[in-house]
Amino acid sequence: MSTENVDLRKQLQQHVQSLRGAGVEWAPLGPPLETAQPCGTACQPVPTTPPEVASPPLSLLAAADSGSVLTLEERRQALKVLAEEVSKCTQCAALASTRTQTVFAQGPAGAELCFVGEAPGADEDAQGFPFVGAAGQLLTKIIQGCGLKREEVYICNILKCRPPGNRTPLPNEAANCRGFLERQLELVKPKFIVALGSSAASNLLNTTQSLGKLRGRFHDYKGIPVMVTYHPAYLLPHRAPEKKRDVWEDMKMLLTKMGKPIPQKQA
Ligand code: SF4
């Protein structure tokens, strides 16, 4: 089996296990698989070999692999299952022992725009939702300044647990949580992503480039355009509020890419 297929099988099996853990016991079967290639005498029939390990139904595996074959409601349900799985996660022992609760996300499956931040802070850890403190209120203003509603965008973080003292996530913590983020984004299927701050950008995009070098152009995350801008916490009065102007420039670039009008008033 190729490396790609091994990775695919592993991802699918993890997802199916999380579905089973949440009590999902069945999924609709897809169409039968072709066992031969209709390409003339040069091609040999593809042998049907027994699976190497006990596997879930192929239709469920395929559905779990990509949100594209799931209905919106199925994606909503799968996100709930994933959030439940995250709530029990203890991969980062230090974070799991100090968190009040995990902070999965806020926003609808199918949101056109997704904001990805770094990690929950004290307010988020207490309330269980991302970006609800002072920085979160500023993010809401930025969203509204773009002519959007907070309820229509999806907001999540690289880490689902608060690092003590709001320290920057450690590389192994970001790596531990990466699978959750990837599955989350597969199910939400945003058309555009905004990475908030250098930590979110470097982890999402797997880059060591500085935020200054990443700003001002679009990057790619699995075919989704990614805009990088400052974290709202950096824009608060005691830090660098003058950078709000730069964020507005980034948002204008994003709105243009999204084909949306640019509101006259700055956020
Ligand atoms: S940060 Fe992510 S991987 Fe680490 S314990 Fe929390 S949910 Fe699990």
86 lines ligand 1 (CB under 6 A): yes
Distance CA 202, CA 59 (A): 35
Q: Name which residue leads in pLDDT, 245 or 57.
A: 245
Confidence category of residue 34, pLDDT binned at 50, 70, 90: very low
Question: Which domains are seen in the chain, by residue range?
Answer: 72-258 (3.40.470.10)
Task: Please state whether beta strands 224-229 and 154-157 pair in parallel, antiparallel, or not at all (unpaired).
Answer: unpaired
Residue of the nearest CA to atom 8 in ligand 1? 89
In this prediction, residue 37 carries a pLDDT of: 41
Mean pLDDT over each residue of the chain, to the nearest integer: 83
In a mutational test of the pocket of ligand 1, which residue from 86, 97, 157 has the highest number of ligand atoms less than 8 Å from its CB? 86
CA distances from 56 to 22, 75, 129, 187, 248 (A): 15, 19, 33, 19, 47
Say whether pLDDT at 31 is over 80. no
Nearest alpha carbon to residue 203 among 163, 176, 232, 241: 176
| pLDDT one-digit tens code per residue, 219-260 | 999 999 999 999 999 999 999 999 999 999 999 999 999 999
Say whether pLDDT at 19 is over 90. no
Residue of the nearest CA to atom 6 in ligand 1? 161
103 lines ligand 1 (CB under 6 A): no
In this prediction, residue 56 carries a pLDDT of: 35
Say whether pLDDT at 63 is over 80. no
Report which residue type is found at 41: T
Judge contact between 173 and 189, C-beta under 8 A: no
CA distances from 84 to 78, 88, 122, 134, 249 (A): 10, 7, 21, 27, 37
Q: What's the distance, Cα to Cα, between the start and end of the chain in Å?
A: 52
CA distances from 105 to 25, 114, 137, 167, 217 (A): 25, 10, 16, 20, 26
**Mean pLDDT along residues 127-143:** 97
105 lines ligand 1 (CB under 6 A): no
Say whether pLDDT at 114 is over 70. yes
Distance 112 CA to ligand 1 centre (A): 26
In this prediction, residue 179 carries a pLDDT of: 98
Confidence category of residue 59, pLDDT binned at 50, 70, 90: very low
Say whether pLDDT at 197 is over 90. yes
In this prediction, residue 48 carries a pLDDT of: 38
In this prediction, residue 13 carries a pLDDT of: 56
In this prediction, residue 15 carries a pLDDT of: 52
**Mean pLDDT along residues 138-149:** 98
Instruction: Give the DSSP letter string of the chain.
Output: --HHHHHHHHHHHHHHHHHHHTT-------PPPP-S--S-TTSPPPP----SS----HHHHHHHH-GGGS-HHHHHHHHHHHHHHHHT--SSHHHHHH-SS----BS-TT-SEEEEES---HHHHHHSSSS-SHHHHHHHHHHHHTT--GGGSEEEES-SSPPGGGPPPPHHHHHHHHHHHHHHHHHH--SEEEEESHHHHHHHHT----HHHHTTSEEEETTEEEEEE--GGGGSTTS-GGGHHHHHHHHHHHHHHHT----SS--
| pLDDT one-digit tens code per residue, 180-194 | 999 999 999 999 999
Confidence category of residue 60, pLDDT binned at 50, 70, 90: very low
In this prediction, residue 265 carries a pLDDT of: 65
Q: pLDDT exceeding 90 applies to what percent of the chain?
A: 73
Distance CA 92, CA 218 (A): 32
